[in-house]
């Protein structure tokens, strides 16, 4: 979607799955197959209309009407996420920020006043927030998830280093500490050798 929008902005009206492949690192078949799950968006013998396809993907992702999410945790990571998103993305935007620390409540982060976590569920309902982002310590994560559920959130991105799950919600766990710890595996001096072709 990003490449398509870049191309459209640069005045390139049409592209092919092969060109997109070159720009994204996926294969052309992969791109065609993925699109096929949702419909047929190209013209045989020609390719894809960059702006039209970008729009379709926006629609598929549900980004049409700018999504607002509940950001829980106004610590370092939470603040980074709020500012980051505010600066870079236009379609996904922080709708409200929450924190349990009375010191943080009332402060302004990314143009929003930090709310007490106790209001989380109620605020989500009132503002109609369907997406939550958890950026709190591991211990607090589970209860935050429950509050988001109670507030009617359907999708959650969890940055706390615990694997959370709560059907039928969609919970995406993104553990940065894990990421940092596993990357070291790819450091040259291997101390334990895998038995066969690992190395993915």
Q: What residues make contact with a second copy under the rule CB under 8 A?
A: 1-2, 24-25, 36-39, 56, 59-64, 67, 69, 75-77, 79-81, 83-85, 88-89, 91-92, 130-131, 133, 154-157, 161, 163, 165, 170, 172, 174, 176-177, 179-196, 198
Count CA atoms within 13 Å of residue 140 on its CB side: 14
DSSP string, 104-171: TTT-EETTEEPEEGGGHHHHHHHHT--EEEE-S-HHHHHHHHHHHHHTT--EEEE-SSS----TTSEE
Count CA atoms within 13 Å of residue 50 on its CB side: 16
Of 24, 27, 165, 182, the one binding DNA (CB under 7 A) is 27
- Compute the distance between CA of residue 70 and CA of residue 79 in angstroms, rounded to an integer: 13
Torsion, CA 150, CA 152, CA 157, CA 159, rounded to 10: -20
Binding piece for DNA, criterion CB under 7 A, among 25-33, 55-63, 74-82, 99-107: 25-33
Question: Burial, 165: exposed, middle or buried (Cβ in 10 Å; 0-12, 13-18, 19+)?
Answer: exposed
Q: Which of DNA, a second copy, none does 44 bind, CB closer than 5 to 8 A by kind?
A: DNA
Binding piece for DNA, criterion CB under 7 A, among 14-22, 83-91, 139-147, 161-169: 14-22
Q: Which of DNA, a second copy, none does 86 bind, CB closer than 5 to 8 A by kind?
A: none
Q: Which of a second copy, DNA, none does 125 bind, CB closer than 5 to 8 A by kind?
A: none
Of 2, 6, 12, 29, the one binding DNA (CB under 7 A) is 29
Name 19's Cβ contacts closer than 8 Å, sequence gap at least 6. Answer: 47
Q: Which of DNA, a second copy, none does 116 bind, CB closer than 5 to 8 A by kind?
A: none
Residue 200 as a binder of DNA (CB under 7 A): the answer is yes
Per-position x/- string for 30-69, each x denoting binding to DNA as judged by CB under 7 A, each - no binding: x-xx-xx---xxxxxxxxx---------------------
Q: How far is the CB of 60 from a second copy (least distance, A)?
A: 5
Q: Which of DNA, a second copy, none does 122 bind, CB closer than 5 to 8 A by kind?
A: none
- Compute the distance between CA of residue 142 and CA of residue 115 in angstroms, rounded to an integer: 19
Check if the beta carbon of residue 140 is closer than 8 Å to that of residue 156: no
């Amino acid at each position: 979607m990003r490449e398509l929008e870049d191309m459209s902005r640069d005045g390139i009206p049409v592209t092919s799955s092969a060109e997109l492949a070159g720009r994204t690192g996926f294969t052309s078949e992969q791109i065609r197959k993925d699109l096929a799950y949702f419909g047929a968006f190209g013209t045989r013998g020609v390719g894809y209309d960059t702006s039209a396809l970008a729009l379709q993907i926006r629609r598929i992702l549900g980004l049409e009407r700018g999504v607002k999410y509940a950001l829980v945790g106004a610590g370092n990571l939470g603040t980074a996420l709020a500012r980051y998103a505010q600066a870079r993305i236009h379609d996904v935007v922080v709708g409200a920020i929450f924190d349990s620390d009375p010191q943080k409540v009332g402060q302004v982060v990314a143009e929003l006043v930090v709310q007490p976590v106790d209001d989380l569920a109620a605020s989500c309902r009132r503002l109609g927030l369907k997406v939550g982002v958890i950026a709190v310590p591991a211990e607090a994560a589970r209860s935050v998830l429950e509050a988001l559920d109670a507030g009617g959130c359907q999708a959650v991105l969890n940055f706390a280093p615990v694997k959370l799950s709560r059907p039928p919600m969609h919970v995406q766990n993104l553990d940065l500490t894990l990421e940092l710890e596993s990357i070291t595996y790819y450091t040259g001096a291997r101390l334990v050798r895998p038995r066969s072709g690992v190395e993915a």
